[in-house]
Structure 1
Amino acid sequence: MMKTVYILLLGGVFLGNPFTAFSQVKALKTWLGKEADARKPLDKLAIYEKALTRENAKEMADLLFEEKLKEIKATYKRMWGLKCFKREALQMPFDCKLFGEKPEDGRSLYISMHGGGNAPEALNTQQWKNQIQLYQPEEGVYVAPRAPWDDWNMWFKPGLDEFFDALIQTAVVMMDVNPDKVYLLGYSAGGDGVWRMAPRMADRWAAASMMAGHPGEASQVNLRNVPFMIWMGENDAAYDRNKLAAVKGLVMDSLHAADPDGYIHETHIVKGKGHWMDQEDRVAIPWMAKFRRNPYPTKVVWRQEEVVMPSLYWLSVDPKEAKHGMVAIVEKEGNTFTILKNDYKRLTIRLNDELIDLEQPVKIFYNGNQIFNGKVKRTLKNIARSIDERADKRMIFSAELTVVDNEKVE
């Protein structure tokens, strides 16, 4: 006896499958609808590693990111109100000013680091109070944090990265800051910090400007996608700051000459001026404001600094493997990635539908050899992990590939 089987389709998806696009989103909504302490771990959901459609991945990313914003607000709202971020035994007070009307695409954020250094607490605090008066953008949230330490390297010690991430994330939630319009600047010891933190956290900044700081051993190669200004008084001879600024300007010139699509920069050695440039450096603010962060550059140059980082743009590594001076350079054209240099045993390339076309195969080449050619699935696992790591909507990645020994891909 023959049976007639009726199959109900919705948008071309068989609803009898327990992992349809519809049921995947519904499962996540059901999970989010419960109180946090009543939810089982997200990685225990049956949908956690199942393949997602483009539309499905976007909706689930939006849902999880909204949940993350609530968490950030709950964690940092009081600190923002008190104008002081706290982390373990450290604290970073800040002052802020609001300029202009909010644009349709969100406000800008300027993080402005003060001078001082290895000096009495009162002197550094006085320098911090000065910093809030130095610059006035036409639009944006202008924040002058007070360094958590009173030391010569107060603006690039380990742990500052977490403070800056908290500041950016909270400003996004509390002030509707656009994460693609975040700018870094600093004067004197704050300029020391710009030399280090602009490359170290390069994928946070739309542009950066260094004023009267000492570069030390800082490298500039990570600034490939961060427009960068150097400001120095011609007579600022202490610690050879003036000479080193000129040398670093030449380094930026050479980097740009070798890679004309990157390393946008300007070097200003202000004639007749010493450590104080009589505010001629103020033009750095409108110069920076012209730029927006590109979270998906076609080329990433990543050198680990003294404080190692787990990711930069769409590349990530195991922090346990990362060491100062290790380098990864990868460029992208369409769906094809070419590894130009990689010091890591395992290098992960993170993907989403804004970076590439995930409906098409992805190719990876190293040293002229194709080491991968295939399609990559989107998963809730990748979405959730990238949200937890960065809490940056533009840095949510739904897929990834890990290159092992520059020979194979997992």
Structure 2
Amino acid sequence: MRYCIALFLALLSLFAKAQENYSTLSRKALETMWKANDENGYKKALEMYEEAFQIYPDSIDATGLYKASVIASELKEYGKAFKYLTSLANEKDYLGWRYVLSENEYKNLVADPRWNALKIKAIKDKEQFYNELKVNEDEFFSRKPNNLNSIENEKLLYETIRNFNPYREKKSQDYSISFKINDSIKTSFFIHLPKNYNPEKKYSLVFFLHGAVRNNALVDYQLADWNLGDWNRFYTKYAEKNDVILVFPRGNRQYNWMTPDDGFFMIPEILKLIKKGINVDDNKVFISGHSNGATGSFSYLMKQPTQFAGFYGFNTYPKVFTGGTFVENIKNRSFINFSTDQDYYYPPNANDDFTKLMNGINADYKEYRYNGFPHWFPQFDESEQAYKILFEDLVNRKRNPFPKEISWEFDDEKYGNIDWISDIKLDTLNNKADWHKELNFKITKWLEYDKKDSLITKTVDKTAFDFPRKSGKIKAKYHNNIFRIEISSIKSFSINISPEMINLKKKVKVYINGKLHFNEKVKYNLEFMLENFKEKKDREQIWVNYIELKI
């Protein structure tokens, strides 16, 4: 009997060992390092890293070597510290120079002659890395010459823009592109192309906006393994299945897609940059995100949706944090939210009420609830079903560049543009029209973690949306060369004109609040067409002229 028990325990031990891998061992080592209060704790962590290196030599990664070298340096085990640092520095894919040049973490090593040799190599490797980045970036933006400026016939220019294709084949599937925020600050975005990218074909594109914007830092380059695996593995899987371009921008506390407004310009501007280098289907550009990134996706839907076809969010907080949340703006596009019932970020009862509000205004909105999962839902394999839904919608969804009806509300003139209505200016001194009303609801329950990391429900008294400023609203539609516009707290705006919308051989009539304000023919405007295309890079939503209207 004792023999059977001993054998069972031995087999159990072997089974437990078999379940371990490099990832779990290195994670335990890292947690041991975090918890260490003295030298013995650091020694234990180093031993655990070394055990992982010994058992899984083919799985050793940059993070493991980096942490082991830092611990060895703190313990003044210089031989081991330089051994791991040298391995880190000699493997090109690790970008070991990043770690070596972090001198503050290796203060015990800088007096050693071996340190200087490592530092010289790191400086050289860094220079080579940035030179290669520049070469790759130049190759990404390389394209055939075009003759748009030389075209003097308006109709020919229009057709040339519609069929504009200066794109070339790409040498790589992955590109890290730097992005200038202002004269002193840069960030980056990472692009993953379909395997057999063909410059003659137009491709769908989806932006993924990361969460935790307050805890992220801007970086002027990105790597594939930062973006394509782990939580984003299903984006990669289904993008490759459906020939979709993936884009991963990087934000931080100040420059992001949620709050403050300083970085909100980034995604539309990054899209314009991308369209310089690769063949994007202008009617199939989408935004998705998780947590703060999902809130960002929702915010672009509310504030600046023109360039995009649809919006998605995982664990979304559906609110604009920089002004009013004008939920009827969703009627210009669509949103799919993947929520969970154990989410501290936005509670399930509030999602229920938000869905009711969306159904009440007949919005193109869907929510899929996944029970038994916390805020970090994309971490779990069970989230794959949500990505299947997302990509099925994305494949079948297309922007209508010339919608017959528009409804748009805003409280910041930076966002006074939607499809064929542009440059809307507010007149908040006037009273609102009777049909111009706020939509809102109360939130009375919220989930949060207590000191024991248990999820509890607390009673709150919140309104779903804030309205810190007065807003203006415009409702517009067209049919048979007639535009009928209703406005509230608006003093001026423009109507952009396309031959896909009207018959340019006939007069165009514009009624504002029932009164005729325009009754003339509209001609092609070559200069405006060229300027607008250079600014928007949109080959589908092409404006040939505009009608300026002041009330």
- What TM-score comes out, normalization by structure 2 length? 0.55
Q: Does 1:224 align with 2:331?
A: yes
In the other structure, the counterpart of 1:32 is 150
For 1:97 and 1:307, locate their aligned partners in 2 and report how far apart those are by CA, in whole Å.
Answer: 34
Residue identity in the other structure for 1:402: E
Q: 1:166 to 1:105 in 2, by over 3 A?
A: same
Q: Does 1:267 align with 2:362?
A: no
In the other structure, the counterpart of 1:314 is 420
Identical columns (%) = 18
Question: Greater relative contact order: 1 or 2 (C-alpha under 8 angstroms, separation 6 or more)?
Answer: 1
Aligned match for 2:542, one of 396, 400, 406: 396
For 1:109 and 1:241, locate their aligned partners in 2 and report how far apart those are by CA, in whole Å.
Answer: 30
* Structure number, greater radius of gyration: 2
Could you tell me which runs of 5 or more consecutive residues in structure 1 were left unpaired when the two chains were aligned.
Answer: 1-28, 34-46, 48-55, 74-79, 257-262, 406-410
In the other structure, the counterpart of 2:456 is none
Query: Could you tell me whether the CA contact under 8 Å between 2:315 and 2:345 is conserved in 1?
Result: no
For 1:144 and 1:81, locate their aligned partners in 2 and report how far apart those are by CA, in whole Å.
Answer: 10
In the other structure, the counterpart of 2:483 is 337
Q: 1:144 to 1:350 in 2, by over 3 A?
A: closer
Q: Does 1:290 align with 2:392?
A: no
Q: 1:376 to 1:268 in 2, by over 3 A?
A: same
Aligned match for 1:92, one of 161, 168, 187: 187
For 1:110 and 1:152, locate their aligned partners in 2 and report how far apart those are by CA, in whole Å.
Answer: 20
Query: Could you tell me whether the CA contact under 8 Å between 1:113 and 1:155 is conserved in 2?
Result: no
Query: Could you tell me whether the CA contact under 8 Å between 2:420 and 2:495 is conserved in 1?
Result: yes
Summarize deviations over 1:274-312 as a string: whole Å, max 9, x none: 213331421212212211111100111122255722521
Summarize deviations over 1:76-120 as a string: whole Å, max 9, x none: xxxx95422223233332233233656875111010111213225
Q: 1:166 to 1:117 in 2, by over 3 A?
A: closer
Q: 1:317 to 1:188 in 2, by over 3 A?
A: same
Could you tell me which runs of 5 or more consecutive residues in structure 2 were left unpaired when the two chains were aligned.
Answer: 1-146, 169-173, 429-468
For 2:216 and 2:521, locate their aligned partners in 1 and report how far apart those are by CA, in whole Å.
Answer: 58
In the other structure, the counterpart of 2:136 is none
Q: Does 1:168 align with 2:271?
A: yes
Query: Could you tell me whether the CA contact under 8 Å between 1:108 and 1:140 is conserved in 2?
Result: yes
For 2:154 and 2:533, locate their aligned partners in 1 and report how far apart those are by CA, in whole Å.
Answer: 13
Residue identity in the other structure for 1:92: T
Alignment of 1:4-403 (within 5 A): 32=150, 56-61=153-158, 81-88=175-182, 89-99=184-194, 106-119=202-215, 121=217, 130=230, 132-135=232-235, 136-137=238-239, 138-150=241-253, 154-155=257-258, 157-217=260-320, 218-236=325-343, 238-256=344-362, 263-277=363-377, 278-279=382-383, 280-282=385-387, 283-304=389-410, 308-317=414-423, 325-403=471-549
For 1:395 and 1:363, locate their aligned partners in 2 and report how far apart those are by CA, in whole Å.
Answer: 21
For 1:117 and 1:92, locate their aligned partners in 2 and report how far apart those are by CA, in whole Å.
Answer: 13
Summarize deviations over 1:35-55 as a string: whole Å, max 9, x none: xxxxxxxxxxxx8xxxxxxxx
Residue identity in the other structure for 2:155: K
Which stretch has the larger CA shift, 111-120 or 87-96? 87-96
Q: 1:198 to 1:318 in 2, by over 3 A?
A: closer
Query: Could you tell me whether the CA contact under 8 Å between 2:255 and 2:263 is conserved in 1?
Result: no
* Secondary structure in structure 2 of the residue aligned to 1:92: strand
Which stretch has the larger CA shift, 299-308 or 192-201? 299-308
For 2:294 and 2:538, locate their aligned partners in 1 and report how far apart those are by CA, in whole Å.
Answer: 26
**Greater fraction of residues in helix:** 2
Summarize deviations over 1:298-328 as a string: whole Å, max 9, x none: 1111222557225210011166989863222
In the other structure, the counterpart of 2:466 is none
Residue identity in the other structure for 2:213: G
In the other structure, the counterpart of 2:55 is none
Residue identity in the other structure for 2:418: L
For 2:424 and 2:373, locate their aligned partners in 1 and report how far apart those are by CA, in whole Å.
Answer: 46
For 2:279 and 2:181, locate their aligned partners in 1 and report how far apart those are by CA, in whole Å.
Answer: 23
Q: 1:105 to 1:223 in 2, by over 3 A?
A: farther
Q: 1:375 to 1:148 in 2, by over 3 A?
A: same
Which stretch has the larger CA shift, 290-299 or 354-363? 354-363
